[in-house]
Amino acid sequence: MKKYLLSCLALVVFLVGCATSTKPGQVGISRSQMFLVSQAEMDKGAALAYTQVLKKASSKRKLNTDPVATKRVQRISRSLIPQVVTFREDALKWDWQVNVIDDKTINAWCMPGGKIVFYTGIIDTLKLTDAEIAAIMGHEMAHALREHSREKASRDQLKNIGILAVSVATGSNELANLANMAATYTIALPFSRAQEIEADIMGAELMARGGYNPEAAINVWKKMSKASKNQPAEFMSTHPSHENRIAKLTEVSRKVMPLYEKSKKI
């Protein structure tokens, strides 16, 4: 019986694992992904979780309180969002939202379905240029395009430890658990090294197509390296080293530089 169950499990992994959420683009993303959690569930949870984040920030008078920063980030997003068709055409129809929260956190993220938040901490601490904001935004958008949160949730679901698996066992509120799932797998838990590298590479192409010099992505990680010397061991165990990211982005920036040059002529 045990061998039979293992065989069934292997068959499920094979059937759902031979898929990829995006087209390869010029950077050639083609890794197969496993999805057990549905896109509808993840998007529904993300929409609710995002609303909750914004309401909380608004109640503390932290939402879009800097009109200059907010307009700046939203203006950059308008250059990048049209480029998502390179990787998936349906993403152009997503309900993209971009907001800035006044918080010292050095972070930004994009929930499934195109729900973006930038914290003033990352803009101010790293003294980001427009191109560097575009690099970070492209990276976060790539996580959403590749459905990395859904992929992580699916891997835990397979091991029967995911939030949805636990919610079924406990009979807890479905909608609340969907929101918790989206927030947990987008914000709280780290992405894998493979997912981070994919986001770096795709983000470089998105920003180049959007008219921003992809070499700015290299500068971001040089700044991040200086700002995060005391990064916890847990973070370093799941993320590529700053040196490896810089080396990879140096290689990728050369590859997508013609896209940037072309965008300047349009």
Q: Residue 34: phi, psi to the nearest 5?
A: -110, 125
Pairing of strands 108-111, 97-101: unpaired
Q: How many CA atoms lie within 13 A of 262 on its CB side?
A: 10
DSSP 8-state assignment for residue 108: E
> Nearest CA to 217 among 249, 243, 239, 241?
249
Q: Which residues contact 16 (CB under 8 A, 6 or more apart)?
A: 34, 35, 36, 154
Report the amino acid identity of residue 3.
K
Question: Which tokens in the block code for residue 75?
Answer: 């203006």
Cα Dmax for the chain:
64
Asked if 166 and 48 touch (Cβ cutoff 8 Å), the reply is: no
Is 215 in the active site?
no
**In angstroms, rounded to a whole number, what is the distance separating the alpha carbons of residues 224 and 48?**
30
**In angstroms, rounded to a whole number, what is the distance separating the alpha carbons of residues 184 and 178?**
10
Residue 116: beta bridge partners?
Answer: 98, 110
CA distance readout (Å), 2 to 9, 13, 32, 64 = 11, 17, 27, 55
Asked if 120 and 69 touch (Cβ cutoff 8 Å), the reply is: yes
Catalytic-labelled residue, pool 140, 147, 198, 205: 140
**Positions marked catalytic:** 140
